[in-house]
Amino acid sequence: MKLTLRVWRQSGPQDKGAMVEYKLDDISPDASFLEMLDVLNEKLIADGGEPIAFDHDCREGICGMCSLVINGTPHGPERATTTCQLHMRKFKDGEVIDVEPWRAKAFPVVKDLVVDRSAFDRIVQSGGFISAPTGTAPEAHSTPVPKPDADRAFEAAECIGCGACVAACPNGSAALFLGAKVTHLGLMPQGQPERWDRVVSMLDTHDEEGFGGCTNTGECTVACPKGIPLDVIGRLNHDYLKATAGGKKRA
């Protein structure tokens, strides 16, 4: 395959950055998007240039590290697929492909296509946990969970925290991420003790980190590589209102 790539290059956080064009021939349609970038980087290194920095780790769609906005869509054109699991056969021969980093104030660019997503870690630290004694694994059947709740909690727990929801949102909001965490923990019996304080502190941290406000556009759920449904945001709002206006919050 012949391709023209327009890639965002930025030498560091302070650099202004710009799109740089690269031509590639002979890319296998069976290569993944990241393998295609590996080929380009080897070429750049051989030519004495600076390779393109991009995040990646497991390359099997479960770690949430890869984070590329491809032709304006986070994780590219294929639904419910991470960038690492996207293959070049999804593109046309001779296509011009734009590759950009996640764009959000809370996700500053470190270099090229790498952004700092520790804002998500701080949101999780503020409430995305349960208090349970560690070291002793209890018998799994000792705490019954209704099957529909378990299924919905599992669906929400599929969130890999990649940040595609923020990258896709016209408001730069992380409501889908918040909703996934709040739904995942809030549906399980183990998540009940912190349920009402969790939603408030996670949302407060979200706002402090500089993410935008949700207007229910639904772009997040379309971009989400795990297909987290939009109704988790409804649950987030429900729990938040109950915690604040409903007076359930303790701290």
Partner 1 sequence: MAVTGGVLVLYLVAHMIGNLKIFLGEEDFNHYAHWLRTIGEPAVPHRTVLTLIEVVLGLSVVLHMWSAVSLGKRASHARPVKYQSKKKSHAQGYAVHTMRYGGVIIALYIVWHLLDLTFFVVNPKNSDATPYERMVSDFDPSRWYITVWYVVALLLVGLHLNHGIWSAFQTLGLRTPRSHRALRGLAGAVAAVVTLGFISVPLSITFGWVS
Residues binding partner 1 (CB under 8 A): 6, 8, 19, 69, 71-73, 98, 100, 103-106, 152, 168, 170-173, 210-213, 215-219, 221-222, 229-231, 233-242
Q: How far is the CB of 213 from partner 1 (least distance, A)?
A: 5
Q: Closer CB to partner 1, residue 62 or residue 108?
A: 108
Q: Closer CB to partner 1, residue 138 or residue 210?
A: 210
Q: How far is the CB of 220 from partner 1 (least distance, A)?
A: 8
Q: Closer CB to partner 1, residue 191 or residue 212?
A: 212
Q: How far is the CB of 108 from partner 1 (least distance, A)?
A: 10
Q: How far is the CB of 84 from partner 1 (least distance, A)?
A: 20
Task: Render the chain in DSSP notation, one character per residue.
Answer: --EEEEEEE-SSTTS--EEEEEEE----TTSBHHHHHHHHHHHHHHTT-PPPP---SSSSSSS-----EETTEET-SSTT--GGG-BGGGS-TT-EEEEE---BTTB-EEETTEE--HHHHHHHHTT------SS-PPPGGGS---HHHHHHHHHHHT-----HHHHH-TT---HHHHHHHHHHHHTSGGGSTTHHHHHHHHHHHHHHTT--------HHHHH-TT---THHHHHHHHHHHHHHTT-----
Q: How far is the CB of 161 from partner 1 (least distance, A)?
A: 18
Q: Closer CB to partner 1, residue 65 or residue 211?
A: 211
Q: Closer CB to partner 1, residue 19 or residue 58?
A: 19
